[in-house]
Amino acid sequence: MFRNAQIYRLLKAWDITAEQLAQHLAPQTFTPAGNMDMQSQGWIQPRESSNGLVHQVNRQFLLRLQTEKKILPSSVINQVTRERAKELEEQQGFPPGRKQTKELKEQITDELLPRAFTSIASMWVWIDPVNGWLVADSSTPAKAEDALKLLFKAVPKFPLEPVRTVMSPGAAMTDWLASDEAPDSFTVDQDTELRSTAESKATVRYVRHTLEANQIRQHIETGKQCTRLALTWAGKISFTLGDNLSIKKIALLDVLKEDAGAIGKNEDERFDGNFLLFAGEMSKLLAALINALGGMLPDAEVA
């Protein structure tokens, strides 16, 4: 279900119900952007069959954040501004000043907005109150923050914190490559990136390439650290781990695909079954990954 994962930790037992959470989120329900709006963002029903803004299966919550953005390239605004400025110069006998040009640009932006194309994107958010995880299906922490800001605003004292581990992911991945030994239940795959810590930031990337231990060690000895590493957990899920603990390219392997294929008789049952399968296995993967990084820092432990 998720291709990416930005990971956060619930700091204490969370006994809020799906209905209560949906009530908190209701004022943030998505509404389409108006003619003069550059962007609109809000929660939508995760499924058409969902009963509200929170889809619940066995104490696992699924949310969906939708974002609509107007596509109005700055090059178009600047071009029209130059044309209008030239017309204005001919009318008044001198070129518009900085303030007048700024006002002209704002006016043109307002004029063009109703005719701008729009792009619509959505992001899954999975909340696991049982094991204490919140995961956003985002390739970058910045995009995940959009969902977190709304949640913090909607839910009083939302008990959430970024995951902080004893070992940094970059240092741990570098150690795994240097020792040619992955942590328990993990195997190293064929994609990695090593970057110099020097000012040059020299970077070496391996894509679908066998990682020769001696060659990798040479890069590490010259001052490079691993910033991205492809891994497989328990023969079930492959993914790429970043040095900021971002997880990308999540893929269920055949053993789980077979289980997923046998779930449910209709679309709703299959969706719920696949969600539970993903949530159950992903929560185990996250626990194993945190353990491989030395565990949580004391001030980030679950109460």
Q: Which of 118, 107, 127, 113 is nearest to 54 (CA)?
A: 127
Distance CA 209, CA 226 (A): 15
The predicted structure's pLDDT at residue 299: 59
pLDDT band of 301, cuts 50, 70, 90: very low
Which of helix, strand or coil describes residue 14?
coil
Residue spans per domain, the chain: 6-70+116-162, 74-114, 169-300
Confidence of residue 302 (pLDDT cuts 50, 70, 90): very low
Q: What pLDDT was estimated at residue 1?
A: 77
Nearest alpha-carbon partner for 286 in 239, 253, 254: 239
Place of tokens 């679950």: 302
Output the average pLDDT for the chain: 91
pLDDT value for 229: 97
- Residue 14's pLDDT band (cuts 50, 70, 90): confident
CB 9 within 8 A of CB 134: yes
Secondary structure of residue 116 in the 3-state scheme: coil
Q: Cα–Cα distance between 125 and 65 in angstroms, integer? A: 8
Check residues 2 and 11 and name the one with the higher pLDDT. Answer: 2
The predicted model scores a pTM of 0.86
Mean pLDDT, range 237-251, rounded to an integer: 97
